[in-house]
Chains A and B, each alone.
Chain A
């Protein structure tokens, strides 16, 4: 794993040769180009894509949190927690591409949603390809990643603190905010990382459900290694992405320690 990564580091400082080969001399041009500094002036194309990807991953994470956090509580307090937990992880074990494809079937022009709307005589919606479809499928894909660590944290919550806060006159919301939420925070942070990082790097979901209209950093990397065949620039883009992720992971490891890293599996 380390050796291929080092190879790629070298590649990111090389140049594109004829027929997509890699040639020297070493150069910073790929990184400069990524950050918008070209010979013809400032062109923030890739910076904008990076910013868009970060924004996308943030919104996905927020939506997953809104769906997953209450769900983790519901599971922890349910009589059927074993069953519910199984139901949440089961879709995750079915093939990823099949689930993505299913969303195309649901959103396409003559798909499930429009067939449903048609029954009520409503106009069909143009849901595919769209950002909406990409968001839906991404949230769908990574939801279990958030629910599991949050659930583990909720299960360990010491509810006597909640009761104590209420006895001391705090309202339900305030006692939740000060007595329960902080206890679940380690699980939330782990879950947020587990959703944010793959959402930042996705290219399959945006490729299939965005059908070329949705370009994220993952799509840029894939195109450089695919159609464009500029492996040097692709490597630089991959290193920018990896750098962001490793920085986040390292900061997390420093604060949460090894115990925190273990929450990521």
Chain B
């Protein structure tokens, strides 16, 4: 039984890593077409680094990820605090709604945002599809993730600490700044990291909210796959794979230190 489980584990791991290995190996393959090995080369990486469009797409991706993460982290944390601290009508519904963006198929959110932006554009002339609409689109679902992560941190908070701060004469803001925030900080950070990587990886929401001139790396990869791929894509993918793996390991190390 134990042996069977072990074999099963190895097979699943093989299944999980085969696609990644294939891409990385191909990115060093001299052959332009097909998967036959024709010798080692780093030429695709050099071509990639001299492609100014890729630099622009990477910049777009990072701008979207940083801006949306910042907004979503602030709003999501406030939302979690509001849910933690106050009682109001419709709170139960709001709590249920928090889980909806996490669970709902992303295509539904994507098309809803597309319609919404089109409507506002017609009414006001604002919200031409651009990086701004992508950022707002990302915030709508990141917000829920951040709020949920921060809320689970708040749930383990000892209310006596806040009360003690108030008894010692700290005002509402001082209590928040010196007591609550440091205590929930790991949750805020974890939520922000999650939001950031979700934004970097997102394709579907971006697909429906992006306009001309706001291409991100995932959109570019999708377009290339549909048009037929050049080996530069393998090099780009390998770099992204390496970057995200490094990011995950770094994030884990950061969170563990706390």
Query: Given that A96-B201, A105-B22, A140-B16 are contacting pairs, would A5 and B112 also be in contact in the complex, using a CB cutoff of 8 Å?
Result: yes
Select A245's contact among B35, B36, B104, B221, beta carbons within 8 Å: B104
- Output the residue of A2, A5, A93, A97 with the most chain B CB within 10 A: A97
Residues in B whose Cβ lies below 8 Å from that of A7: 112, 115-116, 119
Query: Given that A91-B16, A94-B240, A265-B149 are contacting pairs, would A105 and B245 also be in contact in the complex, using a CB cutoff of 8 Å?
Result: no
Question: A residues 64-90 with Cβ under 8 Å of B?
Answer: 67, 70-71, 73-75, 77-78, 84, 86-90
Which stretch of B1-9, B156-164, B168-176, B179-187 is in the interface? B1-9
Which stretch of B41-49, B51-59, B94-102 is in the interface? B94-102
Q: Is A99's beta carbon under 8 Å from chain B?
A: yes
Task: Provide the bound-state CA to CA distance between A192 and B218, in Å.
Answer: 27
Contact: B16 with A87, CB < 8 Å? yes
Query: Given that A93-B244, A97-B222, A203-B107 are contacting pairs, would A112 and B22 also be in contact in the complex, using a CB cutoff of 8 Å?
Result: yes
Contact: B245 with A90, CB < 8 Å? yes
Q: Is A51's beta carbon under 8 Å from chain B?
A: no
Task: Provide the bound-state CA to CA distance between A197 and B108, in Å.
Answer: 12
Task: Provide the bound-state CA to CA distance between A140 and B13, in Å.
Answer: 11
Query: Given that A93-B245, A96-B203 are contacting pairs, would A264 and B96 also be in contact in the complex, using a CB cutoff of 8 Å?
Result: no
Task: Provide the bound-state CA to CA distance between A99 and B107, in Å.
Answer: 19
Select B23's contact among A3, A5, A102, A110, beta carbons within 8 Å: A102
Query: Given that A106-B19, A112-B22, A204-B204 are contacting pairs, would A97 and B112 also be in contact in the complex, using a CB cutoff of 8 Å?
Result: no
Q: Is B225's beta carbon under 8 Å from chain A?
A: yes
Question: B residues 54-76 with Cβ under 8 Å of A?
Answer: none
Task: Provide the bound-state CA to CA distance between A102 and B221, in Å.
Answer: 12
Q: Is A98's beta carbon under 8 Å from chain B?
A: yes
Residues in B whose Cβ lies below 8 Å from that of A104: 225
Contact: B100 with A249, CB < 8 Å? yes
Residues in A whose Cβ lies below 8 Å from that of B112: 4-5, 7-8, 238
Query: Given that A91-B16, A97-B225, A249-B100 are contacting pairs, would A1 and B107 also be in contact in the complex, using a CB cutoff of 8 Å?
Result: no
Interface string of A192-232 (1 = CB under 8 A from B): 01100110111110001000000000100110010000010
Residues in A whose Cβ lies below 8 Å from that of B33: 110
Select B111's contact among A8, A70, A90, beta carbons within 8 Å: A8
| Size category, A interface | 35 or more
Query: Given that A8-B115, A264-B103 are contacting pairs, would A101 and B229 also be in contact in the complex, using a CB cutoff of 8 Å?
Result: yes
Task: Provide the bound-state CA to CA distance between A78 and B6, in Å.
Answer: 9
Question: B residues 127-180 with Cβ under 8 Å of A?
Answer: 140-141, 143-145, 148-149, 152
What's the minimum C-beta distance from A84 to chain B, rounded to whole angstroms? 7
What's the minimum C-beta distance from A180 to chain B, rounded to whole angstroms? 13
Task: Provide the bound-state CA to CA distance between A203 and B241, in Å.
Answer: 23
Contact: A101 with B5, CB < 8 Å? no
Contact: B114 with A225, CB < 8 Å? yes
Q: Is B247's beta carbon under 8 Å from chain A?
A: yes
Contact: A67 with B103, CB < 8 Å? no
Smallest CB-CB separation from B7: which chain A residue? A74
Q: Is B28's beta carbon under 8 Å from chain A?
A: no
Interface string of B202-232 (1 = CB under 8 A from A): 0110001000000001100110011001000
Contact: A97 with B108, CB < 8 Å? no
What's the minimum C-beta distance from A109 to chain B, rounded to whole angstroms? 9
6 A-B pairs whose Cβ atoms sit less than 8 Å apart in the complex: A1-B101, A67-B15, A78-B9, A95-B221, A222-B107, A231-B115
Sorted nearest first, the 6 A-B pairs with minimum C-beta distance are A201-B105, A102-B19, A4-B116, A4-B112, A98-B237, A74-B5
Task: Report A's interface with B, CB cutoff 8 A.
Answer: 1-5, 7-8, 11, 67, 70-71, 73-75, 77-78, 84, 86-91, 93-106, 110-112, 115, 140, 143, 193-194, 197-198, 200-204, 208, 218, 221-222, 225, 231, 234-235, 238, 241-242, 245-246, 249-250, 253, 258, 261-262, 264-265
